[in-house]
Amino acid sequence: MSLYAEYLHEKTDIKMLESPNAFATYVFTDKGCWIKDIYVKPEFRKTKMASDLADMISEIARAQGAKTLLGSVVPSAKNSNDSLKVLLAYGMILDSATNDFILFRKDI
């Protein structure tokens, strides 16, 4: 477990999955399991690593009784178009949007 994952575990309800080339953070909410962040090193980005992490989180979420997987995009963030494409390719659909935050969902 990385130092950052230890910090998250100690200070928040956020969980983390890690591999040598990627990580994902997620948290359970009243709406389901929200994947807060997925980061994959640039040289590994077209290798299904992000969807593999999302699949693992989905399995964990189902085991915890969650029925919905959530993902989000902040349009003003760097590379937000890429994030949007990833969520749509994973089968997520629009749940809601505010000024600078778009929430997606997928039944699991």
Across 33-55, average pLDDT: 95
List the domains of the chain with CATH numbers: 3-107 (3.40.630.30)
pTM of the prediction? 0.92
Quick one: pLDDT at residue 24?
97
Return d(Cα 55, Cα 49) in angstroms, integer: 10
pLDDT confidence of 39, banded at 50, 70, 90?
A: very high
What element of type H or E holds 98? strand 93-98
pLDDT at 1 over 90: no
Across 79-94, average pLDDT: 95
Q: In this predicted model, what pLDDT tens digit does every residue of 14-25 receive, in sequence order?
A: 999 999 999 999
Which ranges in 2-101 belong to alpha helices (H)? Answer: 3-11, 49-63, 80-89
Cα–Cα distance list, 16 to 39, 63, 85 (Å): 11, 16, 22
